[in-house]
Amino acid sequence: METGSPDRLTVAVNTLSRRNRDAGFDPRVRLSIMPGTWQHLPGRGVVRCQGFDYEEIEAGANLSFEHYERSALEELLLAASARAILLEVWGAPYHHRRNPGIHQIHSRRASCAVPGDIRNLDGALQFYFAEEQETALFLFKFCGQS
């Protein structure tokens, strides 16, 4: 992902939960896509977010989360990326070798295989499309996350 600075960031999205799979739970990722529109594109760059919580989004919207097989989710993400003119990402920064990136792009609430409950640090992707100035907010959950 280009951020407007010389450095590019890798956006790492889980399309399968290894932890759930290894613990004998459903490894599929669940996805909800919340459509919207934009009037002005956000500026490029990396900024610190004061918090992002699915609970707040779900309180104001009737969302349903659908299970996706890994390959189908990968195809959906690639298709949205190919159409998008801008991608907004919420997640946690990481630095692996010489490649900086963002991961933890999913709900951080307790799941079947991860008992820790982290609030207000959820991750998501928002795609901005030129056609009719549409957006698509992708929200990701694992087995056991309500």
**Confidence (pLDDT) at 73:** 98
Q: What is the dihedral of CA 141, 85, 74, 121, to 10 degrees?
A: -20
Burial of 136 (0-12, 13-18, 19+ CB in 10 A): middle
pLDDT in tens, 20-47: 999 999 999 999 999 999 999 998 888 8
Tell me the pTM.
0.95
3-state secondary structure of 50: coil
Q: What angle do CA 95, 121, 58 make, to 5 degrees?
A: 140
User: Which amino acid, one-letter code, is at 13?
Assistant: V
pLDDT in tens, 42-93: 988 888 888 999 999 999 999 999 999 999 999 999 999 999 999 999 999 9
**Confidence (pLDDT) at 3:** 81
Compute how many other C-beta atoms are within 10 angstroms of the C-beta atom of residue 115.
Answer: 8
